[in-house]
């Protein structure tokens, strides 16, 4: 995974909002679009940026494509912050994600 693409993807508030939605469960692009005041092409664009950054995965189930969070990559990002000595605090250091 590339940290460049991941952090760039996270720099947009709509994309962070999509991530927050997906923590509650997988969603189709239509599900996501219905909760945004945004056109479907815009939603598709944001989902593609998130996919290219590996933050989100898509899985076909029957006729639908569901989007889900790629928790591995989020753990790698959290790990980057924890590797900053003195930033996360000692209690954090001891529980660095495995």
Residue ranges in contact with a copy of itself by CB under 8 A: 3-8, 10-13, 16, 19-20, 23-24, 69, 71, 74-75, 77-78, 80-82, 84-89, 91-92, 94-95, 97-98
**What's the closest the beta carbon of residue 66 comes to a copy of itself, in angstroms?**
16
- State CA 27 to chain mean position distance: 13
Residue among 90, 68, 91, 95 nearest 79 (CA)? 95
Cβ nearer to a copy of itself, comparing 65 with 88: 88
Report phi then psi at 28, rounded to 5: -85, 165
What is the Cα–Cα distance from 80 to 74, expressed in whole angstroms? 10
Cβ nearer to a copy of itself, comparing 1 with 3: 3
């Amino acid at each position: 995974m590339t940290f460049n693409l991941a952090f760039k993807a996270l720099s947009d508030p709509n994309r962070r909002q999509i991530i927050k939605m997906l923590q509650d469960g997988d969603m189709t692009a239509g599900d996501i679009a219905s909760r945004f005041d945004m056109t479907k092409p815009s939603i598709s664009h944001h989902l593609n940026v998130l996919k290219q950054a590996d933050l989100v995965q898509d899985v076909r189930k029957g006729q639908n494509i569901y989007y889900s969070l790629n928790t591995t990559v989020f753990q790698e990002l959290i790990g980057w912050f924890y590797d900053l000595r003195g930033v996360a605090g000692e209690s954090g250091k001891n529980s660095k994600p495995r």
